Structures are given as C-alpha cells and as structure tokens.
Structure 1
Amino acid sequence: MSDALWVIIPAYNEEAGISDTLGALAAQQDSDFTLLVVDNGSTDDTCATIVDFAERHPEMRIHVLSEPVKGTGAAADTGMRHAIGEGAELLARTDADCLPAPDWTAQVRCGFASGLRLLSGELRPRTDEGVGRAQLLVVRAAVELASFAGRYRSGNQDPSYLGPYMMTPGCNMAITAELYIEAGGFPRTRIEDVHEDRALVNAVRTITTDYGRRRTMRVYGSQRRVKAWGIVKTLQWYADHRYRPELVDIR
C-alpha cells in the first residue's frame, strides 16, 4: 500500500444526496484510500444510507463516526484526528454534497508527491441541480475573484505569515497528517461562527510555505445555497457571513 490516504467527509442530514458523493468516490481511478464519514448529529437516515452503500461496495474501506457537537469544524477535526490515530499519513476532505472528479484522489497524491504539504483544489459548481448556465458562470467568476481578493484582505495580513494567502475550500483540500497536527487542525466551530478552512490555512502560513493550489484537483460543489438565497446573498455569506440567514443548513 502507498502512503495511507484517508478521505474525510463531515455530514449533517445528507440522506437525500450523499449517495451521489459516495458514488463519485467509488468511481475514483486511484481507489487506494480509506473513506471516513463523520455524522454530525443527523436526524434523518444519513447513517443508514452510508451503511447501505458500504454493504453494496465491499471493495471500499468505508467507516462512519459520530460527532454530536454541531459544526463542520468540529466534525471535520474529529474525522481528521481519528484518521491520524488509525495511521493516516495523508488527509483529504470533501463535503457530503460534492462530486469529486474521477481522478481527484490521484491528483491529491500528485500534489503531495510534488513536495506540497497543503493542497487547495479547484472548486467548480455542480451542473445537475437546476441552476442556470449564466448563474453558474457568475459563481465561477466570483470564486476566482474571491481567491484573488483574499490575498489583500486585512484579516489575511500578518507579519507572522511566511507566504501569501491561499483560498482553500474545505470541500476540496488535502493536508499531510504531520502538518495538520502542527497547525492545530480545524477549529472546532460551527459554520455560522468561523470559516474553518480559512483558519487552518492561516495557521499553516505561520509554519511553512509548502502549500499550493492544484487546479487539476477538481471537485464540483453544490449550488443549493445559490438556489435558496440567490447569488448575491450566497457570496455575502461566504464573505465573513455578511449575510446571516435564519436557516444555514440548506437541504
């Protein structure tokens, strides 16, 4: 077996869609990884759906772990630390409403082989959720603009940072186990409180410059917030929660 790669997925009430995510991972060209889904207190049949999928795909190494403390940061951190305790050397994360490209895990390995210790992948919008083409193009352009603007935001500037800011979507990132521990991991927070991916990146920036963006590492992200809130409010949400809806967990 090559370096032990674990894929971590935090999940909350994802019964309706997680099978698509699991199916995308089952179709990976590089299947040498262990999949860990962290159920974050779901009240639907998320866990049963995962167990059923695992029974139908015995060739995959699939585990389910429970984290009752609400929050993507808490769930992702629990999964990462459990994987490390089980021998993981390389960690990748996606989300339960995303579709990794068929070569995603292969590209993760290529990124690590290049010497990087933190990888930021290419996030593209899903095209199967009824969002119009024009809106999808706006979303892609907005992600690129946010990535560029993030380098100059005051919150990402500090003399202790060794390298430039790099926007790293939590649903498409990978990190070595050693660096994850050294950086302190994801903050154990709710998505409403802190963007845990941004916090982890900035912690890494105080340690090393061995991080980089890998456009060939593609994940297609859900547009359900765009459908529910519209583009402007969705962008405001991701920009430090300038839009705060009553219901965050859109399903």
Structure 2
Amino acid sequence: MVSRDPRDLPAADDGSDETEPAGIRLWVVVPAWNEERGIGATMSALAAQRDRDFTLVVVDNASTDATVAEVERACAASTLDVQVITEPRKGTGAAADTGVRHAIAHGATHVLRTDADTLPAPGWTAAARRAFAGGADLVTGPMRARSDEVRLKVWERAVLPAVIGVCQTFGRLRPSNRSPELHGPYRMSPGCNLGVSARAYVASGGFPRTAIEEVHEDRELVNRVRRVSGRVELHRDLVVHASVRRLRAYGLLGTLRWYLDHGHHPDVVDVRGLA
C-alpha cells in the first residue's frame, strides 16, 4: 500500500489505545533524492526481509526525476506497507529527521534508517528487533560493498569495510567523542545502517537538519543519543550492502578523508543520484 496524502495516513499514536499490542512497532525510513535508477533494488531488498512486520516511509527529498514513480512501481509488485512523504529542504539530515519524526508521530517505537542505494541483508529488520528487544537505544552494524551495481575490483570489496574500521578506531580516540557527558562507548554508525528508539530520538533532539556537506548527521546523532543513554550498540548481524558510488567518485584517499572529518572537498559532494 502506498499513501502520499497526509489525510490517508493513520492518526498519531497518543498511547491511549489499550488494545494496541505491547512490543516493538518498527518503521524503516529511506531518504531519497534522484534515485529512480536504483531505489527499486532497495525496495526489493526490504520486501525480502524475513521480518516484514514494519512500515516503510520513503522521504522524497525534492527529487527532480521519477524517484516517487519508481517507488510506486516497486510497491505494486510487493505487499510492503509504504508511505511516501516529502521534505523540500535537500539534505540527508533534514530528510532523515523528517522521516523519523513522521514515523514516531504515527506510532513507531523504534526506527531503522537506510539509504536509497543500499541492500539490507534479509535478516536486517529481524536483527534490529532483537537488539531493540534487549534494550538498545541506538544500533548499528557492518556496512559491506554491493556487488550488483558494477563489477567490483578486488580491492574495493575490502576497502569499504576497512575505511569504516579506520574511522571507527579514530572515532574512539577523538576527544569530542570522549567527553564526560557522553555515556557508553562511541560507535561509528553509517546513516545507511542505523536504528534508534523513539524515546532516545526525541530526548536527544534527533538528526541535525543539515545538508550532507555541513556535518556528518549520523555521528552527530550517535553523540546526541549518548548524552541521554549508554545503550548504543554494535550488532554484527545487522548488515547492509552499500553502494560504492562514493568510493568511485572520491577515490580511496578522498573517501577516507571524507569519512574521517569532511577533510575531502570534491566538486560534487552529494553522490546521491549518481549512476
């Protein structure tokens, strides 16, 4: 089911319905900008989840192509419960925040975020549900390279996880990630593989409403949540396969510098929408 008109969406959950079953009400948020060529594969990966008890919200981030039409086409071939909303301010932070707040306003207790160029592994939502059931407030997991977009070079298969590993180690040592006001260990959480409880999201202030070149909104969210909870967890079975578009566009050194601290300044910063 695809719903685009806010009048068609369910009323906000105020907690007053005593017949609502207890437990985790999971939503998945996918920000999308000019992803008509690839979002169908992401939709198919979500439709193939072993745990399909979730609502999907796609945030059209002012696309100028047929992204929304492609979402609707993909929905026609599946039974996913999908809602499409719009965020006119282009930026991954702004779009992700709009999507997560929409989900929470309509009953989500926990929200997963991925990107419109990723393939979550079939056990992704199930792994997140287990982690949340164990009390986690923010979860992340491995990001591996997609192999279906382009023919991967041998080094590319290893480089993307290695880059994330280097940045994770650097992040643990970074003074701003070790402030006494922050609880629990630092976990580098790529925006394409991140989940958060509604309670922690609201209490922390959520994603900064920024463009991708302004701040790493995923790292900012991690530290915002760490100010209100120590339950920030890495789960090895929470896996997504990510596009190598940034690696191809930036090169190895540029990608590493980008993830470390926006140290790379390419002419085209936002790789969303690139083939």
Same fold (TM over 0.5): yes
TM-score (norm 2): 0.88
Following TM superposition, by how much is the alpha carbon of 1:124 offset from its aligned partner in structure 2, in angstroms? 1.0
Task: Look up the match of 1:107.
Answer: 127
| Runs of 4+ more than 6 Å apart | none
1:21-32 alignment, distance < 5 Å: 21-32=42-53
> Could you report, residue by residue, the CA deviation over 1:38-97 in whole angstroms, capped at 9, with x for unpaired residues?
01000000011001111222x210110000001100000000001111111110000000
Q: Distance in 2 between matches of 1:135 and 1:60?
A: 32
Task: Look up the match of 2:116.
Answer: 96
Is 1:203 aligned to residue 245 of structure 2? no
Task: Look up the match of 1:191.
Answer: 212
Task: Look up the match of 1:157.
Answer: 178
> CA-atom RMSD, angstroms?
1.2
- Report if the CA contact (8 A) 2:184-2:231 is conserved: no
Q: Distance in 2 between matches of 1:149 and 1:218?
A: 22
- Report if the CA contact (8 A) 2:213-2:270 is conserved: no
> Could you report, residue by residue, the CA deviation over 1:159-189 in whole angstroms, capped at 9, with x for unpaired residues?
2112221111111011111111001000000
- Report if the CA contact (8 A) 2:185-2:232 is conserved: no
> Could you report, residue by residue, the CA deviation over 1:124-177 in whole angstroms, capped at 9, with x for unpaired residues?
111222231222212222211211221001221212112221111111011111
Residue type of the alignment partner of 1:103: G
Is 1:125 aligned to residue 145 of structure 2? yes
Q: Pick from 176, 190, 195: which aligns with 2:197?
A: 176
Task: Look up the match of 1:237.
Answer: 258
Following TM superposition, by how much is the alpha carbon of 1:211 offset from its aligned partner in structure 2, in angstroms? 1.6
- Report if the CA contact (8 A) 1:135-1:231 is conserved: no
Q: Distance in 1 between matches of 2:270 and 2:169?
A: 27
Q: Distance in 1 between matches of 2:136 and 2:270?
A: 33
Secondary structure of 1:217's match? coil
1:61-100 alignment, distance < 5 Å: 61-100=81-120
Q: Distance in 1 between matches of 2:128 and 2:182?
A: 25
Following TM superposition, by how much is the alpha carbon of 1:6 offset from its aligned partner in structure 2, in angstroms? 0.4
Q: Distance in 2 between matches of 1:161 and 1:155?
A: 9
Q: Pick from 30, 35, 59: which aligns with 1:38?
A: 59
TM-score (norm 1): 0.96
How many residues get paired? 250
- Report if the CA contact (8 A) 1:131-1:227 is conserved: no
- Report if the CA contact (8 A) 1:118-1:176 is conserved: yes
Following TM superposition, by how much is the alpha carbon of 1:227 offset from its aligned partner in structure 2, in angstroms? 1.3
Secondary structure of 2:182's match? coil
Following TM superposition, by how much is the alpha carbon of 1:249 offset from its aligned partner in structure 2, in angstroms? 2.5
Secondary structure of 1:3's match? coil
- Report if the CA contact (8 A) 2:167-2:259 is conserved: no
Q: Distance in 1 between matches of 2:251 and 2:32?
A: 23
Residue type of the alignment partner of 1:25: L
Following TM superposition, by how much is the alpha carbon of 1:105 offset from its aligned partner in structure 2, in angstroms? 0.4
Is 1:7 aligned to residue 31 of structure 2? no
Give the percent of matched residue pairs that are identical in Structure 1 and Structure 2.
48
Task: Look up the match of 2:157.
Answer: 136
Q: Distance in 1 between matches of 2:183 and 2:255?
A: 31
Task: Look up the match of 2:168.
Answer: 147
Unaligned stretches of 5+ residues in structure 2: 1-20
Task: Look up the match of 2:70.
Answer: 49
